[in-house]
Amino acid sequence: SMCDHPTAQKEHLKVHIQSKHSHEKPFKCSICDYSAVQKSNLKQHFQSKHSHEKPFKCSMCDYSTGYKCHLKLHSQSKHSHE
């Protein structure tokens, strides 16, 4: 066994092995050299980097981003004291 990562779903184990052990990234961007373990990560990359879509919008100011995690960081750093 490579590690003791627990998962109940075969697909989750496959993703874990690809990202943590084999470093295989089969989903390649057609515009730049970015590659991803999961198709959803490639889709998010494409939307934020190439289509300039920014679907995650701050409810307290005009900030928007392509990444949900960036919106969370923005909210914590800019609005947590308001």
Stated as kind and residue range, the H or E segment containing 65 is: strand 64-65
pTM for this predicted structure: 0.51
* CB-facing half-sphere around the CA of 19: CA atoms within 13 A: 14
For the stretch 32-81, pLDDT in tens is 999 998 898 899 888 888 887 888 999 999 999 988 899 999 999 999 87
Q: Which tokens is 71 given?
A: 């919106």
